[in-house]
Amino acid sequence: MKVVSVVGARPEFIQAAPVSRALRPRHQEVLVHTGQHYDYQMSALFFQELGLPAPDYNLEVGSGPHGQQTGEILARMERVLMDERPDWVLVRGDTNSTLAGALAAAKLHVPVGHIEAGLRSFNRWMPEEINRIVADHVADLLFCPTPTAVSNLAAEGILQGVHLVGDVMYEAILHNLSLAEARSQVLARLGLVPHGYLLLTVHRAENTDIWENLRAILAALDRLEEPVIFLVHPRTRKRLREMGWQPGPAVHMVEPQGYFDTLMLEKNARLLLTDSGGMQKEVYCLG
Ligand code: UD1
Ligand code: UDP
């Protein structure tokens, strides 16, 4: 079978690797990068580290408001699907790339598989909630990470094509943890000792675009005395610059890190402070 696999944002690259490894020996995978994330540290770095095959297409949509970004992916994706005529389209997660990939396929009557199906925050203010609900409702195969995800789908009347398969981000950890332990120098590079620092990420729209929410997070951060390693997402860096915020002495702002370094930072942190869906899961998996 020919499967078009859609990726666009950081966690999707990390999730793509275990799936590609399983898929490629038996099927033809055409990898489409929408270009939603494009900085070296948000994109190419993960292809290198994880040994992901180079994308067959890069739609190069870049950043923009939701309608524009989603619409551009939809239009460009449609052309790829008309040329490639795949048997399946595979999307993952809940980004604008997920939504547009799923819609483009469904409109062309190409069956859609959704990895990480059935997750819900029950908060429709979040762009991700809209993306995952729509993707699930146009999907033909729904790969659920947990029994809760299966029951969330059942509550919305989705009973066909639902499979409880476990979590591909967990599989990514299983595959990469020993490599990360062998290769990562991040603790030495940042002068850290295990359990001697807190790890922080913030990038969710409701935490960065609503200034009073971001200010409240920063005010709390300023009260911390333990060293904080702040992995600054480009979206957040932009907001902090606009605000003119300067970190206090305990806060060490660093660029987004690679996956191996991030796993090691998570494993050795005393505490993770985050709004990242993926990182919440990872620290749980890492114990
Ligand atoms: C997106 C996903 C979010 C996911 C996150 C993973 C949507 C709606 N949101 O959020 O679910 O958790 O990716 O990290 O799809 N930017 C750069 N360089 C880049 C990428 C982004 O500078 O390589 C900046 C741009 O100013 C851009 C902003 O970050 O406007 C936001 O990027 P975007 O992809 O729209 O949303 P994320 O916050 O990354
Ligand atoms: N991650 C990374 N470098 C960083 C921050 C996160 O490699 O500087 C990884 C992290 O280990 C996890 C994924 O990116 O696998 C989570 O992505 P993100 O927080 O951007 O999105 P979310 O999971 O919230 O959708």
Q: In angstroms, how far is CA 237 from the centroid of its own chain? A: 18
Distance CA 12, CA 95 (A): 9
Q: Does 203 qualify as catalytic in the annotation? A: yes
The dihedrals phi and psi of 74, each to the nearest 5 degrees, come to -55, -50
Q: What is the pLDDT of residue 205?
A: 93
223: confidence class by pLDDT, cuts 50, 70, 90: very high
Q: What is the pLDDT of residue 121?
A: 96
Ligand approaching nearest to the C-alpha of 132: 1
CA-169 nearest atom, ligand 2 = 15
Q: Which of 63, 96, 124, 231 has most ligand 1 atoms within 8 Å of its beta carbon, as the pocket-test mutant?
A: 63
Distance CA 241, CA 156 (A): 42
Q: What is the pLDDT of residue 103?
A: 98
Tell me what the mean pLDDT of segment 73-86 comes to. Answer: 98
Percent of the chain with pLDDT over 70: 100
Q: Cβ distance 105 to 99 under 8 Å?
A: no
Q: Which of 237, 276, 281, 282 has most ligand 2 atoms within 8 Å of its beta carbon, as the pocket-test mutant?
A: 276
Q: What is the pLDDT of residue 31?
A: 98
Q: What is the pLDDT of residue 50?
A: 94
Percent of the chain with pLDDT over 90: 100
CA 223 vs CA 50, 85, 162, 217, 270: distances in Å? 37, 56, 46, 10, 17
User: What is the three-class DSSP state of 192?
Assistant: coil
Q: What is the pLDDT of residue 167?
A: 96
Ligand approaching nearest to the C-alpha of 199: 2
Q: What is the pLDDT of residues 48-70, one digit of tens each?
A: 999 999 999 999 999 999 999 99
254: confidence class by pLDDT, cuts 50, 70, 90: very high
Q: What is the pLDDT of residues 4-50, one digit of tens each?
A: 999 999 999 999 999 999 999 999 999 999 999 999 999 999 999 99
Question: Token pair of 168, please?
Answer: 């591909």
The response to whether residue 76 sits with its C-beta less than 6 Å from ligand 2 reads: no
